[in-house]
Structure 1
Amino acid sequence: MNDWKKKAVVYEAYVQSFKDSNGDGIGDIQGLIEKLDYIKNLGANVIWLTPIFKSPLVDNGYDIADYQAINPIYGTMDDFKKLLSKAHEKGLRIVLDLVVNHTSDQHKWFKESQKNKENKYSDYYIWRDPKEDGSAPTNLGSAFGGSAWTYVPERNQYYLHLFAKQQPDLNWDNPEVRNDIYKIMMFWLDMGVDGFRMDSISFISKPSKFEDAPLEDNKEYGAYYYGSANGPHIHQYLQEMNREVLSKYDVIAIGETPHTSAKEARLFVEPERHELDMVFQFEHMHVDYGKYGRYSDVTFKMSDLRNSMSSWQNSLSWNSNYLGNHDQPRIVSRFGNDNKYRKESAKMLAIVSLLQKGTPFIFQGEEIGMTNLHIKKIDELKDLEAHNIYNFLRSKGISEDDALNMVNRKTRDNARTPMQWDESEQGGFSSETPWMEVNPNYKEINVKKDLKDPDSIYHFYQKILKLRNNNQVLLDGKYELVSSDDSAVFAYTRSTGKEKLAVICSFVPYKVKYNLPTDFVNRNELLLSSYGDNKAKASNVMYLRPYEGVVIRRE
């Protein structure tokens, strides 16, 4: 991995909710251009944009109708070229979300494919005959609820959609599909785009024969990923993609790989295999899953989070380090304390995640400690998945209040509320009513307040990222977990031959005692504390304050 990739700090911008420049209530490309300096000043140098392509927005843009057209709600192609130019002038790189496991059902390929079995695009998607009784080919379920198969009378066949029925899965076994995708990639790379985050890329290779899938999480249908996660030709296709496209450009390739073990992940990222630079894995996102899977009333155990993150640190040569994104709850509400210790826990979570070995990912709003929504009625949500799951939970006899609580904790809307820029109406996101309601706490939590406060979460992120980029040990150093049996503290070291740092983070809302690792005793320097202490000797026995995080150098 070359130097700029190792030093990459990625800021994910959910464009629809980032900044509205024209008063239509929807974030747009011009709004992003206005805030480039804000992102750069934070310490990020790569911006990952959620999909901005033409789309009916059934799944907020992850259902693409035209890969080579900008959705008019975000602006024009000229706007995007201006964004590229302005970003590059400021030393910022732009990464696009590449969604090629599936398209929208409004894409011209699918519109033609569903007409009959003889046209050019008939084999661009995954079609199967009904069972003798006319029912779906298998019991496979969709990730968003219901069957993963939808019937089309014109073909007397079912098509596969692992996600919404409006998101038919592409048939990667067809070389013409792959070639068309590579042309799309080169279209953007030739324009100057600096890489791709590849959505659900571990699902692109499907089994030749579909079978009934096991029932999990008390669901009516079989697990959507059964047979499709890390399918038979996944590495063949990614090596071909690397050979035909990625290797010809100096770009970064980030793969989203749900339901992938660390052993499987190594096949994606080891340099000699020529596939991807890094993967997004989700094992640590499952630490608070319950009886019905993702949507649950279970609270995470810090030890589970620590064990999962450490396992991946030790398994891969390079990781994607994150605690939140556009599909997850707000990190301070999920892993911290979004009430009394919001500020303290937000800073601590930044330390524990961003200083591990790998590429740091920051989702918009984390740098000011934005929180979950805490909605009171299901009708307040826009998230398609959340509505489907709510109905499913109610069908299982779960009360309205309990079902709403479970959905509240995990709905993707938590991450998708508009960015809170200031205390003015609509949080400074838009001059008009936004496409999604701003979190009501925007007057207390916003960028303007954080920029004015030298002890803010935003300024603390700056310090963390500066520390990371100015210390080679935090780029290349070995990761090693310490105090693995501590019930309150997540601590690890980063070390090279000559230098060693300790990262020590408390996950509890009370003061705890912590003994420094032996080789730090009487020979240490406090580099950073989430409570803002100046550089000093760290006591050999520390009394960590609620949600305190510290970084210590061995002298």
Structure 2
Amino acid sequence: MREWWRDAVIYQIYPRSFQDDNGDGIGDLRGIARRLPYVAGLGVDCIWLSPIFMSPQKDMGYDISDYMAIDPLFGTMADFDDLIATAHDLGLKVITDQVLSHTSDQHEWFRQSRQNRDNPKADWYVWADPLPDGSPPTNWHSHFGGPAWEFDPQRGQYYLHNFLAAQPDLNFHNPDVVDAILETCKFWLDRGLDGFRLDTVNYYVHDAQLRSNPPAQTAPQVMATDLYGMQDNIYNKSRPENLDFLKKLRLLTNQYDDIMMVGEVGEGGQKAIRLMGEYTEGDTHLHMAYSFAMLGPEFTPEHLRNCIEGFQQGAPGGHPSWSFSNHDVPRHVTRWADHAVSPNDLARLTCAMLMAFEGTIGIYQGEELGQTETVLTYDELTDPPALRYWPGIKGRDGCRTPMVWEHDQPNAGFSDGTPWLPVKDPQKTCAVDLSEADKGSTLHFYRDAIAFRKENPALTIGKTAFLNLAAPLLGFTRHCAAQRITCVFNMSKDPQTLSLSGPATIVGPHHARLEDASLVLPGNGFAYLSHDGELVLSA
């Protein structure tokens, strides 16, 4: 039987910003549970919850101080159990973020580890002596700025942190750490989770020899603040030993029915696509992986084709997951605005594209409303990189502002209190109630497009064959034994016309028309074409 996740649509919920039911301005588990009928009504298969575990919230929950406790900000363990039950009753699977590469510096493991060099957990984190001149052990940089090493005077050593200094990296070369991490994962599987989204999945293992990274192989097109991008990060992440841990994690999940793991591969370009393949090849590692390859500024047919074909060719036995937005990048309707006739036109185009891609699809809360990035002032920020490097780096707060439910309610129905991030008027125009009332809204389009994907086996189990179309057109055929659908997308503002070699019918959601033997695509136009046999499209 085909596993549920192979052609699933996964809906990411950022708990802080979805629904606040206790009035403290921060979303919570009860709020999420109350809104789940809306999510189920989209036709998605699964929800992914960003971290809800005990945390000082230095990095909004990605700094965990207790892997097996719910943070009171979000509710109780009983609230979590109720959410799982509600989701399952609605036919939704539930996965949560597992942040395994690092903990909070407030975690009991780290409190013990930093006491001295001979305690039982002394080697649970990555510690190293200073170089003779007192400088850090390697030249590695932190993603959030500055060196990836923090000196701890209590131990007289540096510890590794790939992100904030308050997020020390665990030492996965220590088998006791591996066993402890696996135990935390088992805890949540036993409570009924359907799987995990594994944060920074290629960061678990560091180079045991602590070798410094060489310069980037090509001159990085980055700002001076992005020191990380100026190195070829071959020793601080994506180590081959990483696969050994993934095998152990897969053995754990194989003890349960219908579990899925999707890993976030923190790499760019074709290296990301290659790692996606390595991490999902066969049945001994992850079930699937995604990267930031489609989460950046590049929006061209060539780029998207290279991502998909690169995965097909590099990992014929692997399984990909594709998305255009998440909690770490500017919303794609804003990010790709230069290519848009209007935000809603771009939102519909990109939705139609995602629902035609082979693999598993991820959408981020508010994306289905055509939500845009929120413009914030410095005093409204909470994101550590933005606070440190403003205005050179705008940070991630703009994509994390609260969900908008009822446009005429305080804070658009998100909270009766003061929201942790503001709800602004441009975002309220996308509110769920307004979108529900407008049958031509992006929300209704997403529902129709998700339903169309599920109703057509070519789009769920079909293989992909690209058409050789010139930019700005992207085209490919999805085909299986039962069906053949050709998908064509105009990734520009300018109208395009293609000649067809034979008869075809436009099916499903579309923004195009057939005239005689031609397909006419307005700016940001798209169409799914049903046809028998081969169909050639030409300019």
TM-score, length of structure 1 as denominator length: 0.89
Distance 1:245 1:92 in 2: 19
Q: How much has 1:475 moved relative to structure 2?
A: 1.4
Q: How much has 1:332 moved relative to structure 2?
A: 0.8
| Structure 1 residues 111-126: aligned runs within 5 Å | 111-126=111-126
Q: Provide the residue aligned with 2:262 in structure 1.
A: 254
Q: Provide the residue aligned with 1:348 in structure 2.
A: 349
Matched position secondary structure for 2:375: coil
| Structure 1 residues 25-44: aligned runs within 5 Å | 25-44=25-44
Q: Any conservation in 2 of the 1:421–1:429 contact (CA below 8 Å)? A: yes
Q: Provide the residue aligned with 1:105 in structure 2.
A: 105
Q: Which moved more, 1:238-247 or 1:143-152?
A: 238-247
In structure 2, the CA distance between the partners of 1:277 and 1:111, relative to structure 1 (3 Å rule), is same
Q: Does 1:452 align with 2:452?
A: no
Letter in 1 for 2:505: E
Q: Provide the residue aligned with 2:535 in structure 1.
A: none
Given candidates 493, 505, 508, the residue that maps to 2:477 is 493
Q: Which runs of 5+ in 2 are unaligned?
A: 217-221, 533-539
Q: Provide the residue aligned with 2:127 in structure 1.
A: 127
Q: How much has 1:123 moved relative to structure 2?
A: 0.7
TM-score, length of structure 2 as denominator length: 0.91
Q: Any conservation in 2 of the 1:509–1:546 contact (CA below 8 Å)? A: yes
Distance 1:233 1:169 in 2: 16
Matched position secondary structure for 1:407: coil
| Structure 1 residues 526-545: aligned runs within 5 Å | 526-531=506-511, 540-545=517-522
Letter in 2 for 1:461: Y
Q: Provide the residue aligned with 1:186 in structure 2.
A: 186
Distance 1:268 1:83 in 2: 30
Q: Provide the residue aligned with 1:467 in structure 2.
A: 452
Q: Provide the residue aligned with 2:536 in structure 1.
A: none
Q: How much has 1:314 moved relative to structure 2?
A: 4.7
Letter in 1 for 2:496: V
Matched position secondary structure for 1:203: coil
Q: Any conservation in 2 of the 1:345–1:548 contact (CA below 8 Å)? A: no
Distance 2:339 2:43 in 1: 24
Q: Provide the residue aligned with 1:151 in structure 2.
A: 151
Distance 1:286 1:321 in 2: 13
Q: Provide the residue aligned with 2:402 in structure 1.
A: 418
Distance 2:123 2:527 in 1: 56
Q: How much has 1:313 moved relative to structure 2?
A: 4.6
Q: Which runs of 5+ in 1 are unaligned?
A: 289-299, 391-403
* Deviations 1:418-438, CA, capped at 9 Å, x for gaps: 001121221111112100011
Given candidates 493, 497, 515, the residue that maps to 1:513 is 497
Q: Provide the residue aligned with 2:525 in structure 1.
A: 548
Letter in 2 for 1:304: H
Q: How much has 1:65 moved relative to structure 2?
A: 0.5
Q: Which moved more, 1:159-168 or 1:209-218?
A: 209-218
Q: Provide the residue aligned with 2:303 in structure 1.
A: 304
Q: Any conservation in 1 of the 2:21–2:31 contact (CA below 8 Å)? A: yes
In structure 2, the CA distance between the partners of 1:538 and 1:5, relative to structure 1 (3 Å rule), is farther
Give the paired residue count: 518
Matched position secondary structure for 1:243: helix
Matched position secondary structure for 2:508: strand
In structure 2, the CA distance between the partners of 1:246 and 1:64, relative to structure 1 (3 Å rule), is farther
Given candidates 273, 281, 286, the residue that maps to 2:291 is 281
Distance 1:542 1:97 in 2: 43
Distance 2:37 2:115 in 1: 49
Q: Provide the residue aligned with 2:219 in structure 1.
A: none
Q: How much has 1:184 moved relative to structure 2?
A: 0.7
Q: Does 1:331 align with 2:332?
A: yes
In structure 2, the CA distance between the partners of 1:227 and 1:33, relative to structure 1 (3 Å rule), is same
Letter in 1 for 2:493: P
Q: How much has 1:358 moved relative to structure 2?
A: 0.5
Q: How much has 1:455 moved relative to structure 2?
A: 1.3
Matched position secondary structure for 1:125: coil
Q: How much has 1:312 moved relative to structure 2?
A: 2.8
In structure 2, the CA distance between the partners of 1:339 and 1:474, relative to structure 1 (3 Å rule), is closer
Q: Any conservation in 1 of the 2:276–2:290 contact (CA below 8 Å)? A: no
Q: Percent identity?
A: 34
Distance 1:17 1:81 in 2: 20
Distance 1:160 1:420 in 2: 39
In structure 2, the CA distance between the partners of 1:443 and 1:245, relative to structure 1 (3 Å rule), is closer
In structure 2, the CA distance between the partners of 1:174 and 1:546, relative to structure 1 (3 Å rule), is same
How large is the Cα RMSD of the aligned pairs?
Answer: 2.1
Distance 2:279 2:297 in 1: 24
* Deviations 1:272-294, CA, capped at 9 Å, x for gaps: 4x111100122333454xxxxxx
Q: Which moved more, 1:150-159 or 1:435-444?
A: 435-444
In structure 2, the CA distance between the partners of 1:461 and 1:286, relative to structure 1 (3 Å rule), is closer
Letter in 2 for 1:541: S
Q: Provide the residue aligned with 1:369 in structure 2.
A: 370
Q: Provide the residue aligned with 2:276 in structure 1.
A: 265
Matched position secondary structure for 2:244: helix
Q: Which moved more, 1:361-370 or 1:491-500?
A: 491-500
Q: Any conservation in 2 of the 1:504–1:550 contact (CA below 8 Å)? A: yes
Q: Any conservation in 1 of the 2:203–2:237 contact (CA below 8 Å)? A: yes
Given candidates 248, 252, 255, the residue that maps to 1:244 is 252
Matched position secondary structure for 1:491: strand
Q: How much has 1:345 moved relative to structure 2?
A: 1.1
* Deviations 1:467-525, CA, capped at 9 Å, x for gaps: 111111111111122134x2222221101245211111112223222334x4xx22x11
Letter in 2 for 1:278: M
Q: Does 1:439 align with 2:439?
A: no
Letter in 2 for 1:357: E
Distance 1:538 1:499 in 2: 24
Q: Any conservation in 2 of the 1:18–1:27 contact (CA below 8 Å)? A: yes
* Deviations 1:54-107, CA, capped at 9 Å, x for gaps: 101111100000111111011110000000111111111110100000000110
